[in-house]
């Protein structure tokens, strides 16, 4: 007990989130190593809750952020290394106007990939995720992102839940971005193979 509040072990978090219907987790590890932060974030990845991080010790000491300025968890929190500038021409050539699938689309890295890929305007973005909640959450975020983008082309949403083989085809139109959420795991190779063949 700290200041009258119960302190629970981290391994109990999934049960506590489910029991209390928690929707927000505040991550307070300002001086933790990149490895430790990555371990914690990987453990939180499957939970149906938004994760905000306390500023790092470096951000606090430099004055870049205040103690009460929580931020969205970003990909550097997981990777634990400096960002590398992307080769824009290569990305445009490989992504723009093409069909792209992101497995683990609801996780921290997968969701960030989806955000970046959307900015490159693929023909189709297939979100392949095993957690129904995180699939729904990332789909809603991407819908909002597309609505806010200065995007001259219409968006076609084609939600596909569980019956992959029996699902209707996406709406026609080569000038639209198709956002296709698929519930599934890479462990189920047949489902993954069908998805890859169907949405080439």
> Is 143 within a domain?
yes
pLDDT at residue number 81: 57
Determine the structural domain holding residue 28 and report its residue range.
10-79
List, as one string, the DSSP characters of 104-159: TTTSHHHHHHHHHHHHT--SEEEEEES-HHHHHHHHHHHHHHHHHS---SPEEE--
Q: Using the 3D structure, point to which of 79, 114, 136 is the last residue of a domain.
A: 79
pLDDT at residue number 74: 66
Phi-psi region of 122 (alpha: psi -120 to 50; beta: other; left: phi over 0): beta
| Overall number of domains in the chain | 2
> Is 162 within a domain?
yes
> What averages of pLDDT result for each successive group of 10 residues across the chain (200 residues)?
79 84 79 76 79 75 76 65 71 91 90 91 93 92 82 49 45 62 89 88
> Is 42 within a domain?
yes
Same domain, 98 and 74: no
- For residue 50, the domain's CATH number is 3.40.50.720
Same domain, 49 and 114: no
CA distance to 31, 88, 123, per residue, from 116 (Å): 28, 11, 14
What does the alpha-carbon distance between residue 183 and residue 128 come to, in Å, rounded to a whole number?
A: 6
Same domain, 182 and 107: yes
Closest C-alpha to 47, from 132, 121, 163, 110: 132
Same domain, 127 and 154: yes
With beta carbons less than 8 A apart as the criterion, state whether 122 and 95 touch.
Answer: yes
- At 88, which helix (H) or strand (E)? helix 88-95
Q: Using the 3D structure, point to which of 24, 51, 79 is the last residue of a domain.
A: 79
Other C-beta atoms lying within 10 Å of the C-beta of residue 152: 7
Same domain, 97 and 148: yes
What does the alpha-carbon distance between residue 27 and residue 12 come to, in Å, rounded to a whole number?
A: 15
């Amino acid at each position: 007990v700290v200041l009258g509040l119960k302190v629970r072990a981290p391994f109990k978090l999934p049960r506590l989130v489910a029991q209390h219907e928690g929707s927000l987790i505040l991550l307070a590890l300002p001086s933790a190593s990149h490895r430790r932060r990555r371990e914690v974030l990987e453990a939180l990845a499957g939970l149906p809750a938004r994760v905000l991080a306390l500023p790092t010790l470096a951000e606090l000491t430099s004055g870049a952020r205040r103690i009460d300025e929580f931020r969205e968890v970003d990909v550097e929190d997981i990777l634990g290394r400096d960002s590398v500038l992307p080769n824009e021409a290569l990305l445009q050539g490989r992504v723009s106007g093409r069909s792209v699938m992101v497995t683990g689309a609801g996780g921290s890295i997968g969701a960030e990939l989806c955000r970046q890929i959307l900015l490159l305007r693929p023909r189709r973005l297939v979100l392949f995720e095993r957690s129904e909640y995180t699939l729904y959450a990332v789909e809603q975020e991407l819908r909002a992102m597309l609505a806010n983008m200065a995007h001259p082309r219409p968006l076609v949403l084609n939600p596909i839940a569980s019956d992959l083989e029996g699902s209707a085809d996406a709406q026609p139109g080569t000038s639209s971005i198709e956002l296709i959420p698929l519930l599934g795991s890479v462990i189920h190779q047949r489902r993954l193979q069908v998805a890859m063949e169907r949405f080439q």
